[in-house]
Each structure stands twice: as C-alpha cells, then as structure tokens.
C-alpha cells in the first residue's frame, strides 16, 4: 500500500438520491484506489461497480426519494478496499442468475437489469447485508492483488 | 450533474454515422426511432464513442433497444472509439455479438461495405 494511505482509514460520503451524484463517489473512489496503488483497469472496474451500487440504492432502496441519502463508506485495509453502499429505504433483493441478452433484444424482458451482474463481474466480492439504519448495504470488496478482468485494449 | 447525450449524424451512401458525446446513462434519453428513423433507408449505422466518457447499465439498456430496432429493420450496428474498459463491459454483457467494434471509422466503414 502507498505510504500516504493509512491501513485502517475510513472515509464516508453522503449523497442525495439524485442520478448524477454517483459521480461524486466515483471520483472519491478513483483517488483512494490510486493512492492504494491499484492499476488503472482495476480502478475503472471499481468505478463502474460503485456507480451501479449507488444507482441501485437510489432507485430500488430509496425509491428516488431525494430526501433519503445514499451513504458510501470506504474502508481501507492493507490488502483490500471495502466499499459499503447503504440506502435508507425498504431493502433490496439481488436478482438471481445472469440477465439474458437475447431475451432483452427480442423484447421478451426489459432492456434494463444489468447493474447487479456488472457488480458481480467487476469486483472480487459483492454481498447484500442489512444496514444499521434499516435499509440495505451492498458491500463491494476489491483485493489489491485480486482478479483483473480481461480488457481488449 | 448530468452532461446528457448529444448526437451528431451524417450519411455516406447507405451508412449512417453518428458521433456520440457526453454520457449514456438513461435508457430512454433518445428514442431508437430517432437514431434509425422508419423512413431512412440505410444498411448500417456506425457509432463513434470516442467522446463518450460514462456509460452505466441504463445506458447499456438504451444500446440494447437500438440493437433491437436495428435487427428488426435489418441494419448492421458498428462502433469505434470505444475505450478498453467499455469494450470489456460490452463483451461481458454480450453486446459485442450484435454491435461490432472496430479500431477507427475507416475500418468500420470498410466493414460496412464502404471503401475509402
């Protein structure tokens, strides 16, 4: 880990449930991940997974109620970064199985519904736990030496 | 906070070329009919993603709706300027089976049957 990053540091930000504000958390994640020495491809994966977790919390957890916040907590450890995304709403059940693109293209199922799948693909671990304030927390774990998803570039 | 999505399009023979810029973050920001109008006789559409800096899952849904309409017509869907990160995302989702990615516009146009 980079020397400027404490091994037990916690950083928390609170954002209203309004689309677009997820980018604030993405910028914070980028700065933290860079300081932890994550390579660019991994930082981009984290950024996309985090944006999906936050949009999920805004839409499904907080029902887009702008008075309800999404709390994003970054917990830094020597070997990993844990990001908890908590809503203040009614809870959220992750979908099971991979979305079927052919079904979506044929119009047999809605074109949306990729968020959870992308989170699962892009970080080392993702889980849903009840949050302290009655809502739901999605916990994303990125290991510093973890998987690096394949790129074409 | 939202930059929104801007489209500038031109046509070369049977190919429609669309420069995208901004963010693709809403599944209904643009109607697929705006991209592929019913009265426009084209055989391929080429998207330039080089000025797109953020795509989320709702944006992927918009691309799926465009692919759906293109398949009905039928119109081939090609793209260039896609960053390595979003190429990876498109591949994960399976979109690269329907939206073909090329390194630049010339290659995409050649693939669409236009040789320059």
Write the DSSP assignment of A69-136 as a string of letters: EEEEEEEE-SSEEEEEEE-SSS---PPPS---HHHHHTTSS-S---HHHHHHHHSSEEEEEE-TTSSE
The total domain count for chain B is: 1
Q: Are strands B15-24 and B5-12 parallel, antiparallel or unpaired?
A: antiparallel
A to B CB pairs, distance under 8 Å: 84
For A116, how many CA atoms within 13 A lie in the half-sphere containing its CB?
Answer: 15
**Residue A27: burial class (beta carbons within 10 Å; 0-12, 13-18, 19+):** exposed
pLDDT (tens digit per residue) in B25-62: 998 888 998 899 888 889 999 999 999 999 999 999 99
E strand or H helix at B57, and its extent?
Answer: helix B57-72
CATH number of residue A33's parent domain: 3.30.565.10
Q: Which of A104, A115, A151 sits opposite B64 (nearest CB)?
A: A104
pLDDT greater at residue A121 or residue B2: A121
Residue A5 within a domain:
no
ipTM of the complex: 0.91
Q: Which domain holds residue A132?
A: 10-143
pTM (predicted TM-score)? 0.91
Residue B36 within a domain:
yes
Q: Do A55 and B85 touch (CB under 8 A)?
A: no
Distance CA A144, CA B30 (A): 39
Residue B42 within a domain:
yes
Query: Within 10 A of B86 (CB to CB), how many other CB atoms are there?
Result: 25
pLDDT (tens digit per residue) in A82-124: 999 999 987 778 888 889 999 999 999 999 999 999 999 999 9
Residue A118 within a domain:
yes
Residue B99 within a domain:
yes
- Please state the φ and ψ torsions of residue B87, each to the nearest 5 degrees: -60, -40
Helices A115-122 and B84-93 cross at an angle (nearest 10°) of 120
Residue A84: strand pairing partners: A73, A139
pLDDT greater at residue A144 or residue A6: A144
The total domain count for chain A is: 1
pLDDT (tens digit per residue) in A17-30: 999 999 999 999 99
Residue A55 three-state SS: helix
Q: Do A20 and B2 touch (CB under 8 A)?
A: yes
Residue B14 within a domain:
yes
Rg over alpha carbons for chain A, rounded to the nearest Å, is 16
SS3 of A69-84: EEEEEEEECCCEEEEE
Q: Which of A111, A113, A148 to mutate to test the interface with B (most CBs of B within 10 A)?
A: A111
CATH number of residue B77's parent domain: 3.30.750.24
**pLDDT band, residue B116 (cuts 50/70/90):** low
Give every strand in the sheet of B76-80, ordered side by side. Answer: B5-12, B15-24, B44-55, B76-80, B99-102
Q: Which domain holds residue B63?
A: 5-111
Residue B26 within a domain:
yes
Residue B116 within a domain:
no
CB contacts of A102 in chain B (<8 Å) are 94
For residue A153, the model assigns a pLDDT of 39
Residue A151 within a domain:
no
Q: How far is CA A118 from the centre of its chain?
A: 10
Of A124, A5, A25, the closest CA to residue A72 belongs to: A25
């Amino acid at each position: 880990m980079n020397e400027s990053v404490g091994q037990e540091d916690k950083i928390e930000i609170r954002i209203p449930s309004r689309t677009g504000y997820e980018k604030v958390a993405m910028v914070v994640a980028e700065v933290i991940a860079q300081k932890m020495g994550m390579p660019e491809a991994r930082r981009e994966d984290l950024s996309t997974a985090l944006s999906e977790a936050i949009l999920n919390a805004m839409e499904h957890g907080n029902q887009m109620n702008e008075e309800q916040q999404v709390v994003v907590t970054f917990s830094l450890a020597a070997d990993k970064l844990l990001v908890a995304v908590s809503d203040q709403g009614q809870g959220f059940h992750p979908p099971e199985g991979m979305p079927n693109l052919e079904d979506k293209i044929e119009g047999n199922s809605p074109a949306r519904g990729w968020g959870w799948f992308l989170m699962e693909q892009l970080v080392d671990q993702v889980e849903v736990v009840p949050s302290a304030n009655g809502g739901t927390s999605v916990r994303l774990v990125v290991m510093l030496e973890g998987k690096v998803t394949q790129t074409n570039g | 906070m939202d930059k929104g999505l801007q489209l500038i399009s031109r046509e070369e023979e049977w190919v429609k070329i669309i420069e995208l810029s901004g963010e693709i973050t809403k599944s209904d920001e643009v109607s697929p009919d705006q991209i592929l109008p019913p009265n426009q006789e084209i055989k391929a559409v080429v998207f330039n993603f080089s000025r797109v800096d953020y795509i989320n899952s709702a944006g992927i849904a918009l691309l799926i709706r465009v692919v759906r309409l293109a398949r009905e017509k039928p119109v081939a869907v090609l793209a260039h300027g896609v960053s390595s990160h979003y190429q990876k995302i498109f591949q994960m989702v399976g979109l690269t089976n329907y939206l073909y990615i090329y390194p630049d516009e010339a290659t995409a146009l050649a693939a669409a049957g236009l040789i320059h």
